[in-house]
Amino acid sequence: MGGAAEAAVRGEPLVIAVDGPSGSGKSTVCRRLAQLLGAQYLDTGAMYRAVTLAVLRAGVDPHDTGTVAKIARSVELVVGTDPTDPHISLDGELVDKPIRGPEVTAHVSAVAAVPEVRRVLVEQQRQIIAEARRSTGIVVEGRDIGAVVAPDAHLKVFLTADAAERARRRSAELAADPQITAEELARRDRLDSTRAADPLAQAPDAVVLDTTELGIDEVVARLVALLPGAAA
């Protein structure tokens, strides 16, 4: 695995796009892969969660698209891309913990469905990716990275897993009831897949990887094997 990683980083800094639904293992896999390659890491979902937190703190209905869009344009987001210590700040405040709360989770799909929110955040994401492309490279996770945000990524992967396994993983992570977690994941899948603006989508040239029966190390190893130069 080390030889493949070294071969990949000898050339142009890589942009790796990893998409997939909640519970498919994106975050852990992407951070591990970024660390292995000495690359940066971007969790685009955290950006949508931060805007959602701003909306809720302002007492705004997440379905009020006009006001939500104004908030997205007005807030200042700073995203840390160190895979060993990723963070995000909202108007100068670190909000890594608040954005993972149940209220944000319940409303993030509605906020992320607002076209202007997506336009604003995709522009910021592309700027982060462009800067990383000139230096260390970057591993980016989300739901529309390969299809919309970085269609020219060197590698596009769509991670998936059996619905029951995804619910098991997420409920274990949150110490939550598995049945309630399964219902919440199904709701988010439905909302994210059917929204009009940049829905959860597999890029036509993405490699699909089912992680149901795979451990984290196995998934990372398979991604490394897919990297440009891995066969060298």
Q: For residue 114, what are the CA distances in angstroms to 7, 86, 127, 170?
A: 41, 25, 20, 26
Please check whether residue 209 lies inside any domain of the structure: yes
Domain span at residue 108 reads 2-221
Please check whether residue 229 lies inside any domain of the structure: no
Return the CATH number at 46. Answer: 3.40.50.300
Distance CA 27, CA 6 (A): 22
The helix/strand/coil state of 224 is helix
* Residues 83-103 pLDDT 10s: 999 999 999 999 999 999 999
Please check whether residue 204 lies inside any domain of the structure: yes
* Residues 203-228 pLDDT 10s: 889 999 988 888 889 999 999 999 97
Q: Which residues contact 78 (CB under 8 A, 6 or more apart)?
A: 88, 89
The count of domains in the chain is: 1
Please check whether residue 226 lies inside any domain of the structure: no
Give the model's pLDDT for residue 204.
87
Please check whether residue 73 lies inside any domain of the structure: yes
**This prediction's pTM:** 0.84
Please check whether residue 44 lies inside any domain of the structure: yes
Please check whether residue 228 lies inside any domain of the structure: no
Higher-confidence residue of 41 and 230: namely: 41
CA angle 77, 193, 103 (to 5 degrees): 50
Distance CA 170, CA 164 (A): 10
* Residues 145-201 pLDDT 10s: 999 999 999 999 999 887 777 777 667 666 567 677 666 776 776 766 666 665 666
